[in-house]
Amino acid sequence: MAGPAWRRCLVALLAGGLACLSLPPFDVWPVLFVSYTILVWLLDGTVRARAGNWRRFGAGFAVGWCFAFGYFVPSLWWISEAFWLEPEKFAALIPFAVAGLPAYLSLYWGLAFGVAAILWIAGWPRILLLAGLIGAGEWFRGHLLTGFPWNLPGYGAGSLDGFSQTASLIGIYGVSVLVVVVAAAPAALCDAGKSVPGGLPRRLVFPALVVAGAVGLHVWGNMRVASYDAALAEGARNATVVRIIQPNISQKDKWDPTHASQIIDTYLRLSGMPFANPPAVPPIVVWPESALPRLIGEEDALRARIMASLPPASPLLTGGLHRITDDTGKASILNSLLAIPADGQIAARHDKVRLVPFGEFLPFQWLLEPLGLRQIVNLPPGFAAGSKDRVVRVDGMPAFAGFICYEAVFPRSRPYESRPEMLVNATNDAWFGTSGGPHQHLGHARFRAIEQGVPMIRAANTGISAMIDAAGRVKAMLALGTAGHLDVAMPAVLAATPYAAIGDIGFLALLVLIITTNIICIRMKKFCVQYVHEN
């Protein structure tokens, strides 16, 4: 840890690569204790080897950037799969996807570590300092330049159902801070291999308190889940039945006009399959993002055919492209989630608010388009973003909040105007084949259900389609790369969670607490040094 700078950067790179194993589909969360403990010790060595704030900042930045780069490259490589579908058009973007995007995302970690190096003090406070700065950096990563909050540290604890319930209190950003504190707690036993004053019993106090707190949260979470299970059992008989369709249509075939009839027939066949246990109330049928290669809002005959194929009197929730025209006559395409009651008319829709950078729109178009770059999905009228994220209410189905594909990655940091009864994530992960991307996407969606205390229906073209309960557990699913339908009862809704009521305020309060603690510790250290010097 006290060796040459390049060696610390190399170790940081490897530690970041190890940390990515905590994410789906691996879910090996114990690796976080190794990665983050090493990370704290690397900063210990960095601070010892550098004098002066700017030199410390630069050395800390290098360690943090390398750790994050090692974390993001292996956990986000699958993004390049989308560009391989048409390499003759998008080969120029493949290096950006594999290395450029991770390099940019790592800047937030580098800045957090650079500031940490300047404020670094010995003992357990440095762990809180680092966790708080990482949390702040991740929050900015999720908001600046449209935001990209994929694979936050908190998702590494997604396989721990009990501990994950903490997201209902402070959201995924708050969980990320706690994960770093818990995982780095062993570093309090020594500073880069050098024992801190006070003996072993004193050094064990902070790790013991952290472990006790983490166990307490895990136990509380399990109790929350157990009480929810009791409510599920009580309301199971009257639950709404949902039929989720997963057609498993390859991305190459999806927009090929020669396959349009076959695609429509596939959806109609799967939607009209007989029920093993016919529900007493007409079920809700849910299709994935941009399900059909047609503008079904403009084709009355097609909608009539679709509704005739569904179980009698069933409403349909489907992803679909929707054309709008502004006052000047200019047309745009919206990526929408359409609510269609049994009468076949579009009663309401959720329009995708967050478009995918380089997928549905080209950032810095004025600069990149002259270089020959464009977005992957390039419809002639151009994509438009929805104006508002809201709860949609339609007769015959529970009130719902829509999450179209990429939107499920973003926490709802502000309360909804009214309480949804279900979350609906319509997505098309066919872009990414059978890579880790769809598994990570499902893991992110689970936390949206925990944060809101509302079950989520997830309909994915090639998978993974699932019913997620209000505690974030997958109750039923269709495997990646398979075609089929999933008939499942809608789980009960929990009471509004603290996060649903106040959003990121709880996370910000946690950051204020950490910052205040470190300011007090720094001031006390300066006072003690001054007292010893004067006496």
Condensed to tens digits (0 to 9), the pLDDT of residues 298-331 reads: 999 999 999 999 999 999 999 999 998 888 888 8
Report the chain's mean pLDDT, rounded to a whole number.
Answer: 89
Distance from C-alpha of 242 to C-alpha of 231, rounded to nearest angstrom:
19
- Other C-beta atoms closer than 10 Å to the C-beta of 328 total 5
* pTM of the predicted structure, to 2 decimals: 0.93
The answer to whether the CB of 524 falls within 8 A of the CB of 135 is no
The catalytic position among 352, 360, 407, 451 is 352
Based on the residue annotation, tell me whether 417 is a catalytic residue of this protein. Answer: no
Q: What percent of the chain has pLDDT over 70?
A: 91
Decide if pLDDT at 263 tops 70: yes
Average pLDDT over residues 198-217: 87
The catalytic position among 81, 289, 360, 451 is 289
Tokens 């309301």, residue?
235
Q: What percent of the chain has pLDDT over 90?
A: 68
The catalytic position among 405, 407, 451, 521 is 405
Tokens 């770093």, residue?
180
- Binned at pLDDT 50, 70 and 90, residue 114 comes out as very high
- Binned at pLDDT 50, 70 and 90, residue 97 comes out as confident
Average pLDDT over residues 36-61: 90
Decide if pLDDT at 106 tops 50: yes
The answer to whether the CB of 467 falls within 8 A of the CB of 457 is yes
Based on the residue annotation, tell me whether 352 is a catalytic residue of this protein. Answer: yes
Say what the pLDDT of residue 529 is.
Answer: 45
Decide if pLDDT at 192 tops 80: no
Decide if pLDDT at 465 tops 50: yes
Say what the pLDDT of residue 87 is.
Answer: 74
Beta pairing class for 331-340 and 348-351: antiparallel
- Structure tokens that stand for 531 in this block: 């007292």
Using alpha carbons, select from 120, 144, 140, 133 the residue that is nearest to residue 67: 133
Based on the residue annotation, tell me whether 405 is a catalytic residue of this protein. Answer: yes
- Structure tokens that stand for 312 in this block: 């009698």
Distance from C-alpha of 232 to C-alpha of 24, rounded to nearest angstrom:
27
Q: What digits encode the pLDDT tens for the residues 367-406? A: 666 556 666 666 666 678 888 889 999 988 999 999 999 9
Average pLDDT over residues 132-148: 95
Decide if pLDDT at 144 tops 70: yes
Average pLDDT over residues 104-109: 97
Decide if pLDDT at 365 tops 70: no
User: Which has more confidence, 355 or 30?
Assistant: 30
Decide if pLDDT at 240 tops 70: yes
The answer to whether the CB of 492 falls within 8 A of the CB of 231 is yes
Using alpha carbons, select from 433, 371, 444, 377 the residue that is nearest to residue 405: 444
CB-based contacts of 299, cutoff 8 Å, min separation 6 = none
Average pLDDT over residues 152-172: 97
